[in-house]
Amino acid sequence: MSTALASGPQGPDNLSPLLATVLAALRTGAATRPGPLPAGGPADVAARLREALGDPFPEHGDDHALHTLVHAFAAGAADPAHPHCTAHLHCPPLAIATAADLAASALNPSLDSWDQAPAASALETLVARALAAEVYPPTGRTATPDALVTTGGTESNQLALLLARERHPHVRLVQAENAHHSLHRATWLLGLPEPVTVPAPAGTMDPAALDQALTALGGPPGTVLVAATAGTTDAGLIDPLPDIAGICETHGARLHIDAAYGGGLLLSDRHRPQLDGLARAHTVTLDLHKLGWQPVAAGLLAVRDPDDLHALTHHADYLNADDDTEAGLPDLLGRSLRTTRRADILKIAVTLKTLGRQRLGALVDQVCAHATALAELIDVHPHFELYDRPTISTVLFRPTHATDTTVADVRRTLLAQGRAVLGRARLDNRLWFKATLLNPHTQPDDLTALLELVEGHTAR
Ligand SMILES: *Cc1c(COP(=O)(O)O)cnc(C)c1O
Over the stretch 165-182, which tens digit does the pLDDT of each residue have? 999 999 999 999 999 999
Closest residue (by CA) to atom 12 of ligand 1? 260
**Same domain (yes/no): 45, 62:** yes
The tens place of each residue's pLDDT in the chain, 460 residues long, gives 799 999 999 999 999 999 999 999 999 999 999 999 999 999 999 999 999 999 999 999 999 999 999 999 999 999 999 999 999 999 999 999 999 999 999 999 999 999 999 999 999 999 999 999 999 999 877 789 999 999 999 999 999 999 999 999 999 999 999 999 999 999 999 999 999 999 999 999 999 999 999 999 998 998 999 999 999 999 999 999 999 999 999 999 999 999 999 999 999 999 999 999 999 999 999 999 999 999 999 999 999 999 999 999 999 999 999 999 999 999 999 999 999 999 999 999 999 999 999 999 999 999 999 999 999 999 999 999 999 999 999 999 999 999 999 999 999 999 999 999 999 999 999 999 999 999 999 999 999 999 999 999 987 5
Q: Which ligand 1 atom lies nearest to the CA of residue 180?
A: 11
Ligand 1 centroid–CA 286 distance in Å is 9
Ligand 1 centroid–CA 156 distance in Å is 9
Q: Per DSSP, which regions of 177-298 are E strands?
A: 196-198, 224-229, 254-258, 283-287
Closest residue (by CA) to atom 5 of ligand 1? 153
Is the Cβ atom of 260 under 6 angstroms away from ligand 1? yes
Pocket test for ligand 1, best of 181, 182, 238 (most atoms within 8 A of CB): 182
Kindly report the number of other CB atoms within 10 A of residue 150's CB atom: 25
**Same domain (yes/no): 56, 204:** no
Ligand 1 centroid–CA 152 distance in Å is 7
Distance between CA 173 and CA 454 in Å, rounded? 40
Is the Cβ atom of 153 under 6 angstroms away from ligand 1? yes
Closest residue (by CA) to atom 15 of ligand 1? 233
For residue 377, tell me if it sits in a domain: yes
For residue 1, tell me if it sits in a domain: no
Ligand 1 centroid–CA 259 distance in Å is 8
- Whether 178 contacts 234, CB under 8 Å: yes
For residue 4, tell me if it sits in a domain: no
Is the Cβ atom of 299 under 6 angstroms away from ligand 1? yes
| Helical H segments across 94-206, by residue range | 95-107, 118-135, 153-167, 181-189
For residue 3, tell me if it sits in a domain: no
Res 460: pLDDT: 53
Ligand 1 centroid–CA 235 distance in Å is 13
Res 455: pLDDT: 95
Is the Cβ atom of 436 under 6 angstroms away from ligand 1? no
Ligand 1 centroid–CA 68 distance in Å is 33
Question: 231 is in which domain, residue-wise?
Answer: 109-354
Is the Cβ atom of 154 under 6 angstroms away from ligand 1? yes
- Whether 125 contacts 131, CB under 8 Å: no
3-state secondary structure of 63: coil
3-state secondary structure of 334: helix
Is the Cβ atom of 156 under 6 angstroms away from ligand 1? no
For residue 209, tell me if it sits in a domain: yes
- Whether 173 contacts 192, CB under 8 Å: yes
Res 242: pLDDT: 98
**Same domain (yes/no): 224, 361:** no
- Whether 109 contacts 341, CB under 8 Å: no
Task: Calculate Rg over the CA atoms of the chain.
Answer: 24
| Count of the separate structural domains present in the chain | 3
Distance between CA 237 and CA 205 in Å, rounded? 10
For residue 57, tell me if it sits in a domain: yes
Largest CA distance in the chain: 73
Ligand 1 centroid–CA 95 distance in Å is 23
**Same domain (yes/no): 410, 311:** no
**Which residues face 399 on adjacent strands?**
384
Q: Which ligand 1 atom lies nearest to the CA of residue 157?
A: 10
Pocket test for ligand 1, best of 261, 392, 393 (most atoms within 8 A of CB): 261
Point out the domain boundary residue: 339, 354, 369: 354
- Whether 243 contacts 265, CB under 8 Å: no
**Same domain (yes/no): 208, 274:** yes
**Same domain (yes/no): 311, 362:** no
Ligand 1 centroid–CA 287 distance in Å is 7
**Same domain (yes/no): 144, 279:** yes
Ligand 1 centroid–CA 189 distance in Å is 17
**Same domain (yes/no): 292, 279:** yes
**Same domain (yes/no): 407, 347:** no
Is the Cβ atom of 344 under 6 angstroms away from ligand 1? no
3-state secondary structure of 347: helix
**Same domain (yes/no): 271, 314:** yes
- Whether 285 contacts 156, CB under 8 Å: yes
Q: What CATH number is attached to the domain comprising 421?
A: 3.90.1150.10
**Same domain (yes/no): 172, 266:** yes
Is the Cβ atom of 228 under 6 angstroms away from ligand 1? no
Strand order in the sheet with 430-436: 384-386, 394-399, 430-436, 423-427
Distance between CA 156 and CA 169 in Å, rounded? 19
Point out the domain boundary residue: 317, 333, 354: 354
Point out the domain boundary residue: 315, 330, 354: 354
Q: What CATH number is attached to the domain comprising 230?
A: 3.40.640.10
- Whether 117 contacts 110, CB under 8 Å: yes
**Same domain (yes/no): 63, 173:** no
Closest residue (by CA) to atom 3 of ligand 1? 153
For residue 407, tell me if it sits in a domain: yes
Closest residue (by CA) to atom 7 of ligand 1? 152
* CA atoms within a 13 Å half-sphere pointing along the CA-CB vector of 278: 29
List b or e across 110-148, with b for residues whose CB sees 16 or more CB atoms inside 10 angstroms: bbbbbebbeebbebbeebbeebbebbbeeeeeeeebbbb
Q: Is 208 left (phi over 0), alpha (psi -120 to 50) or beta?
A: alpha
List b or e across 83-92, with b for residues whose CB sees 16 or more CB atoms inside 10 angstroms: bbbbbbbbbb
Distance between CA 106 and CA 44 in Å, rounded? 34
For residue 248, tell me if it sits in a domain: yes
Distance between CA 454 and CA 452 in Å, rounded? 5
Ligand 1 centroid–CA 262 distance in Å is 10
Pocket test for ligand 1, best of 159, 204, 205, 233 (most atoms within 8 A of CB): 233
